[in-house]
Amino acid sequence: MTEMATQDVTLVKLGGSVISNKSVAFSYRDKAVTALGRAIAASARPVVVVHGGGSFGHVVAKKYGLSSTRSTPSKGVSETRGAMFALDAKVCASLSKAGLRPYPFAPFSLLDREGGAGFLQRLLQGGMTPVTFGDVVPDGKGFSILSGDTICVELAEMLGAKLCVMAMDVDGLLDGKGKVIDLVDGETRDIPQPRGKGRLDATGGISFKVREALRMASSGTEVKLVSGLKPAEFSRALSGGPFLGTRVKSAVMDENP
């Protein structure tokens, strides 16, 4: 794959709240994921997909106290990873149904950054859609969760991605009046809190997602937060058209749209 093709890679993050109902343990939204897969296929873009844990990984992680912010012993690691692999199989089946050729891989394959980039480039060149997911990894003191949002940050830098579309179960970031807002790196703005109460999330919720989105923006990747439950809006965000959602970008992007 040429350098130019590498620069054109787009990242798609399928949030756990989109691919599952987080209030129902081990639920899965096949129709929603299939619809998003069709939008990805129609875009004809080389896309790398990352998905969250939803009501699979987060349910088990919460049971054992696993988190992205602290180290824990190995208890529950195997069960949590098993849940994530089971969810990944469902996601890949839905994407295949949508006409894509998913290639699942565990994120530790990316530890070798140079080799990982070449690995993904070869997959994309062969017409595959690489698919990875949030995982539980050793961190030197025990084990902690590697968030799908953090994986997006690493992939964006590794592949020089110019765009990352993050599918959520809401329209984007909302202000106090419920209006969708954009976010520019360097601005001072209170980050909206997640709606609802008691939602499972072992990776820090919306505040963590925004911080990781800003990290991508500061490195030149535009991030779009859009409802994955509205395939038409997701498709427009992916294709570059006007969409209902939040753009997270750097001040430099704002000056040079």
Number of domains in the chain: 1
Domain span at residue 31 reads 3-255
Residue type, 250: S
pLDDT at site 253: 52
Q: Is the pLDDT of residue 191 over 90?
A: no
Helix/strand/coil (H/E/C) assignment for every residue in 87-139: HHHHHHHHHHHCCCCEEECCHHHHCCHHHHHHHHHHHHHCCCEEEEECEEEEC
pLDDT tier at 185 (50, 70, 90 boundaries)? Answer: low
Report CA dihedral (208, 192, 194, 104) to the nearest 10 degrees.
-40
pLDDT: is 115 or 52 the higher one?
Answer: 52
What does the block give as tokens for 56? 């699979």
What does the block give as tokens for 200? 């499972």
What does the block give as tokens for 252? 């430099």
pLDDT at site 175: 80
Residue pair 91/51 in contact (Cβ under 8 Å)? The answer is: yes
pLDDT tier at 168 (50, 70, 90 boundaries)? Answer: very high
pLDDT at site 254: 52
Name the 3-class secondary structure at 218. helix
Q: What is the CATH number of the domain that holds 52?
A: 3.40.1160.10
Average model confidence (pLDDT) for the chain?
88
pLDDT: is 3 or 113 the higher one?
Answer: 113
pLDDT: is 257 or 212 the higher one?
Answer: 212
